[in-house]
Chain A
Amino acid sequence: MSADQLVQGLIGGLAIGCIYSLIALGITIIIRATEILHFAQGEIMMIGAMAGLSALWMVDLPFVLVLIVGMLGGGLAAVLIELSIYRTLRKLRVPLINVIIATLGVSIILQNVARLVWGSEPLRYPPLFRSRGVEIGGFAVSPQLIWIVVLGFAMMALLQLFFRYTRLGIAMQAAAQDPDAARLMGVSVKRTTTYTFVVAGVMAGAAGVLLGSLFFASFNMGFLIGIKAFVAATLGGLGSLSGAMLGGLAFGLIETFSGVLISTAYKDAVGMVVLIAILLLAPSGIFIRPGRRI
Chain B
Amino acid sequence: MLRIENLHVDYDRIPALRGISMDVRAGEIVALIGANGAGKSTTLKAISGLIKPAAGKIEFNDQPTAGFAPEQLVELGIIHVPEGRRIFPRLTVEENLKVGAYAARARIGEKATIDRVYELFPRLAERRKQAGASLSGGEQQMLAFGRAMMAKPVLLLLDEPSLGLAPILVEEVASAIDRFHDGGVTVLLVEQNAELALSLATRGFVIETGRIVLTDTGPNLLNNPKVWTSYLGQEDWEVTTGGEHRAPAASN
Contacts and interface: CB of A to CB of B under 8 A. Distances in A.
Contacts of A170: 91, 95, 98-99
A188 B89 CA distance: 19
B8 interface: no
Contacts, number: 77
A30 to B, nearest CB: 17
B102 interface: yes
A293 B90 contact: yes
A185 B69 contact: no
Main secondary structure of the interface of A (DSSP, over half): helix
A98 interface: no
Give the interface size bracket for B toward A.
20 to 34
A193 B231 CA distance: 43
Interface in B56-88: 69-71, 74-75, 79-82, 86-88
Nearest to A188: B71
Given A173-B90, A181-B86, A293-B131, A187 B50 contact: no
Contacts of B79: 184
B88 A187 contact: no
Main secondary structure of the interface of B (DSSP, over half): mixed
Interface string A189-207: 1000000000000000000
A186 B82 contact: no
Contact of A186 (B87, B91, B102, B133): B102
B29 to A, nearest CB: 20
A178 B88 contact: yes
B43 interface: no
B75 A177 contact: no
Contacts of A171: 99, 102
A186 B88 contact: no
B90 A185 contact: no
Interface string B99-123: 1101100100000000000000000
Contact of B90 (A177, A181, A182, A187): A177
Given A183-B69, A291-B133, 18 more contacts: A171-B102, A174-B91, A174-B96, A174-B99, A177-B89, A178-B86, A182-B88, A184-B50, A184-B79, A184-B80, A184-B81, A185-B102, A186-B102, A186-B151, A291-B134, A292-B90, A293-B92, A293-B131
Interface of B: 48, 50, 69-71, 74-75, 79-82, 86-92, 95-96, 98-100, 102-103, 106, 131, 133-134, 147, 151
20 contacts: A167-B102, A170-B98, A174-B88, A174-B96, A177-B91, A178-B88, A180-B82, A181-B86, A184-B50, A184-B70, A185-B100, A186-B71, A186-B74, A186-B75, A186-B151, A187-B99, A187-B102, A188-B69, A291-B131, A293-B92
Interface of A: 167, 170-171, 173-174, 177-178, 180-189, 291-294
